Amino acid sequence: MKKRVVITGMGVCAPNGVGLDAFTHSLKNGVSGITFQPDMETLKFSCQVGGVPIVTEEKKREYFTDLQLRNFSSNSILYGVMAGMDAITAAGIKIPEKDEAPLWDLGIIFGVATSGVEKFRESIYKIDEGKVRRLGSTAVVQTMMSGVSAYLSGMIGAGNIVTTNSAACATGTEAILMGYERIVNGHATQMLCGSSGENGPYIWGGFDAMKVISYKNNNAPENASRPMSATAAGFVPGSGAGALLLESLESAEARGAKIYAEVLGGAINSGGHRGEGSMTAPNNIAVQRCIASAIKNAGIEADEVDYINGHLTATVKDPVEISNWVAALGRKGDDFPYINSLKGMTGHCLAASGSIEAVSTVLQMEHNFIFPNINCEDLHPEITTLIPEDKIPRERIDTVIKTAVKASFGFGDVNACVIFRKK
C-alpha cells in the first residue's frame, strides 16, 4: 500500500510577506511586494523594478549566528533557510542535539536555479587580484548548488536524503513532487521540500537582455506585473523562498500534528523542445499531458478541481496557458475552475516561484478564500473568449477550496503539476 502524504508545516519568505501571517495578510488584501530597484536604474536596465523580500538584520539573526553571517552574501541561502526553518517549527519537529543521532527518516529536497552569484563575483575578483587566501571559509558552501539543503541539514539534523534539484521555473513544484514520491514509496517519513531564488542584477540581467521582463511601469512598481492583462508587458523578476514539510499521514496522526492539506499526487514531464517547444517556449501538448497525468496520478476526475494556481507570468504566453488548461481539463466557460496568479503581487520568483505559490495555494485552502488577481482589470481578450471573467477574480472571494492544482512551466520546456486536497 502506498502511503498517503500530508503537509504539516510551511514557511515562506516572499516579496510581499516574510512569514505565514504577513504573507496571508498580503494574499487576502492583494498587497504587492514589487518595488523600484535603484541598482537596476544605475546599471541602465530596461526593467528597474523587482520583487525582493524585506529581511532586517535583526530578522537574519533569528536564523543565523554572527559567525555564520560574517562574509555571508547569498540571499538564496538566506531565504531558503528562513522558509525551511519556519516550516520545521510549524510542523513541531524536535531538532536533535549535536550529540544525538540525526533524524534518519527526515530528508530535504530544496531546489535552486543558481547559488551565491554575488559570492562567485567576489571570488573571481579576489582570485584575479591574487588574493585567493582572502576568499573566506564560506566561499564553497555559499556557491554550491546544494548550499540551502546543506545549511538546513545541519540546522535540523536531517539524516535521510539531502539534495537539491534544478528545473528553472518548475523547480519548486518539482521538489514537492520528488519529496512526495519518496514518502509514498516508503523511503522517508518526512521531507522538507521547497525552492529558493536569488535577486539582483547578476541574476536578472540575462532576462533584461532577452527583453522578456517589463519596462513600462518603472514609475509605478506595484502596477508592473500584470498576469492575464491585455497590457502585460513581460514578467517582473522576483525572489524569495517557500518550504513545505511533507509527512506520511500515519506519522502526522501519530504525532497529533496540524495537517494543512493532503498531497494527492502530480506529474512531471518535458516537451523535449519538439513541436512548438523550445528552450524558452512550452510544447503545449506536453503541458496538457502533464496536467492530465497529474489528475490521473492523483486519482481524481478533472471536474473535481475547484481552483487553479496558474504559472501565468504576464507574457504573451498567458492566453496560451489558459488554452492549455481548458484542453487538459476538458472544461471551459462557466464550468472552468477559479484561477489566479500570485505573480501580480510578487513578480516571477523564478526557481522559488513554484514553492512560494504552492504555499499560497495551501493557505487559501486553509483559510477558505481565493486571493485577487491584481493589475488585470483589462483582461486579455483571447482569455475571455475561453473562460468567463468571474473565473478570474479581481477581488478576494471567500469560499471553500476542496481540490486545488498548482502547476509550473519552466525554461528548457519542463513542466510540473501537483494536486492538493483540503483535509
Q: What is the pLDDT of residue 136?
A: 66
5 beta partners: 248, 263
Residues 20 and 103 in one domain: yes
pLDDT at 423: 87
* Percent of the residues in the chain that have a pLDDT greater than 70, as a whole number: 95
Is residue 123 over pLDDT 80? no
| Percent over 90 (pLDDT), the chain | 87
Q: What is the pLDDT of residue 127?
A: 67
Q: What confidence tier does 132 reach under pLDDT thresholds 50, 70, 90?
A: confident
pLDDT at 420 over 90: yes
Does 72 or 149 have the greater pLDDT score? 149
- Statement: the pTM of the whole predicted model exceeds 0.85: yes
Question: Is the domain of 255 the same as that of 290?
Answer: no
One DSSP character per residue, 302-370 reads: GGG--EEE----SSTTHHHHHHHHHHHHT--GGGSPEEE-THHHH-B-GGGHHHHHHHHHHHHHHHT-B
Distance CA 48, CA 39 (A): 8
The pLDDT assigned to 119 comes to: 60
Q: What is the DSSP string of 381-414?
A: HHHHTTS-GGGS-SS-B----SEEEEEEEETTTE
Domain boundary among the residues 239, 261, 283 is at: 261
Judge if 323 and 226 occupy the same domain.
no
Q: Which of 87, 19, 94 is nearest to 59 (CA)?
A: 19
Q: Which residue has the higher pLDDT, 147 or 101?
A: 101
Q: Counting runs of H as helices and runs of E as strands, what totals does the chain give?
A: 16, 13
pLDDT confidence tier of residue 356, bands split at 50, 70 and 90: very high
Residues 128 and 203 in one domain: yes
SS3 content of the chain, % helix, strand, coil (to 5): 40, 20, 40
| Residue with the larger pLDDT of the pair 73 and 263 | 263
Q: Are 332 and 299 found together in one domain?
A: yes
Say how many domains are in the chain. 2
pLDDT at 275 over 90: yes
Q: How high does pLDDT run on average in the chain?
A: 94
**Is the domain of 400 the same as that of 386?**
yes
Residue 1 has a pLDDT of 75
Backbone angles phi, psi at 18, to 5 degrees: -100, 115
Residues 12-66 have pLDDT tens digits of: 999 999 999 999 999 999 999 999 999 999 999 999 999 999 999 999 999 998 8
Instruction: Specify the pLDDT at position 401.
Output: 98
Cell 585567493: give the residue.
Answer: 132
Residues 281, 194 within the same domain: no
For position 120, what pLDDT does the model report?
A: 55
Residues 320 and 388 in one domain: yes
Considering 213, 236, 261, which residue would you say is the last residue of a domain?
261
Q: Where among 261, 296, 319 does a domain terminate?
A: 261
Domain that holds residue 191: 5-261
Q: Residues 119-132: what's their mean pLDDT?
A: 65
Residues 272 and 252 in one domain: no
Q: Are residues 140 and 227 in the same domain?
A: yes
List the CATH number of the domain containing 143: 3.40.47.10
**Averaged pLDDT, 154-161:** 97
Helix (H, G, I), strand (E, B) or coil at 276: coil
| Pair 164, 295 in one domain | no
Say how far apart CA 270 and CA 285 lie, in whole Å. Answer: 10
β-sheet bridge partners, residue 419 = 265, 405
State residue 167 phi and psi, 5-degree precision: -140, 50
Q: Which is nearest to 149 in space by CA: 167, 166, 163?
A: 163
| Range with the poorest average pLDDT among 115-124, 191-200, 249-258 | 115-124
pLDDT at 89 over 80: yes
DSSP 121-170: HHHHHHHHTT-GGGS-TTHHHHHSTTHHHHHHHHHHTB-S-EE---BTBT
Minimum mean pLDDT among 117-121, 193-197, 306-310, 378-382: which range?
Answer: 117-121
Task: Mark whether 256 and 277 lie in a shared domain.
Answer: no
